[in-house]
A and B are shown apart, each in its own frame.
Chain A
Amino acid sequence: MWGWLCLWAVFIGFRIAETSNQQILLALSLHIFQRYILYLGYILGKFEVTKIAEMPAVGRGFISNLQLPTFEDPAWTTPVPASQRRVSIVSTAAVSRRGDKPFSWLAKDHRTFHKNDRDLVMTHVAVEFDRSAWQQDLNVIIPLDRLEEMAQDGEIGSVADEHYSFMGAADPVTMEKSAHAVAEQMKQEGVNTVFLIPI
């Protein structure tokens, strides 16, 4: 599941880049992939590296069978200066505005929410990730308030009006049509920086 999330992020990122020539931020998704899946963090404050072999059986079996795709000739564009960044979030958390159609279990579509929306619900198929954090603070998965503060402080240019959510457990290949639609919406809004955040 986690591999799909991260691979999805990579996939979407490249597709958007190819489509719109925007700069893509893959760093966080890749970072999380490496941190949690390849090196797998530390245990109980002992600061020992956890290996896949030390993971519980079900998760270990699933993750051990994940295959990393390779990308030929990935797009990589020169970033605009930080002060000119207009940032939109793409999340794999399957969040949507209350009342929107819930994500299906293998959803290949997406939902859009406004930067001022806070009344969001989650319909992700998976239950093995912690949900108590986002219940306490939306910013732990969708940091709209943090980005707005950074914009006000001049660290970035602006926060886009629209942000996007996918159901990250689905096969990313099936999301291509939706990814193109998201990229088109971003282009229309002048987004030049995409913050991909796997759940």
Chain B
Amino acid sequence: MLGLFRLAVRNALRHKLRTGLTVLGIIVATMAFGLLRTVVDAWYAGADATSANRLVTRNAISLMFDLPLSYRNKIRQAEGVESVSYANWFGGIYIDEKNFFPQFAIDAASYLDLYPEYILSEEEKRAFMRDRQGAIAGRKLAEEYGWKVGDIIPIRGTIYAGNWSFVLRGIYRGADKKTDQTQFFFHWDNLNETVKKREPNRADKVGVYIVSIRDSGRAAEISKEIDAVFANSLAETLTETEKAFQLGFVAMTEAIVIAIEIVSIVIIGIIMAVMANTMAMSARERVREYATMKALGFGPRHLVVLIFAESLTISLSAALAGIALIFPAADFFASKVGTLFPVFNVSEQTLWMAFAAATCIGVVAAVFPAWRAATGSITKGLGSIG
């Protein structure tokens, strides 16, 4: 078999330009496939980074509507609830509208307890807790805008009108690669006090409650219990797992995700046709050689192995190069899109999918030529009738 693999590799390198162009095509396709899959993963990154022990309670009508601050204690009383925190989406503009990043007013102490994946030094945490004007930002966000601890961050309010300024008291890092490090947090009390002065009727309102539960297996039951408490009230609630809450955002842009997924599959389909054409041309040119091998005693099985080995040599060697290039391509892409995708990591699953796609390309491209070589007549192949 080793001798056959040697022949397969030599055959693969026989038409250098043709093989080279095919390899180049597979490299580009694998890289594009990996990049697009990473974009899809980035879309779901928020949902992937969630905890099964956290629920989110929001206004049942829409996220646009707030909930009263008084709900906190009632939620806390529900069976199985460990602790409750809350946050408001701020939606401000930093210098220019293009500088988008998520900003939340949070109940700092309880919120940071609920999100241990946001890691702050004790010193920074104390500084943030002490300063009502204080804020913390993720590492990627701070790097993006060149912020340092102590900087004043001016933000123009949109949902909450007026000019706001915060003192950066800490830069958090993520506990793992999945953690979103592009967020900006400041004190809910700061927001509420200012709102009380400017728009008193919007004071003491909370965007979402984050509920920590002891047993993730009881999430549905606890959610129901919380929502039942506020049934028939002026602000009914909808409680769901943090993952379901995040997937709700993804669903709003699902058409884009589906389009990206389709494009990634189409790319593989196109390169599969290119590779199949390469293999079909090669096999057609070697009809006499395959017939000679059969005359020498090589069976159909040997020819199938030979052709599959050649096809897989081309597709997998190109795929390995393409996979290696996914990483720099993803880094380049991430640097260009800034904080649009908070988490943009090439996953192991993406690499395996790219490898599987390349294997599939190699196998599919070899099927027809192998079948023809295995079943073809020796005498016709040798051209020796008469």
Bound pair (A, B): no
Q: Which residues of B contact A (CB under 8 A)?
A: none
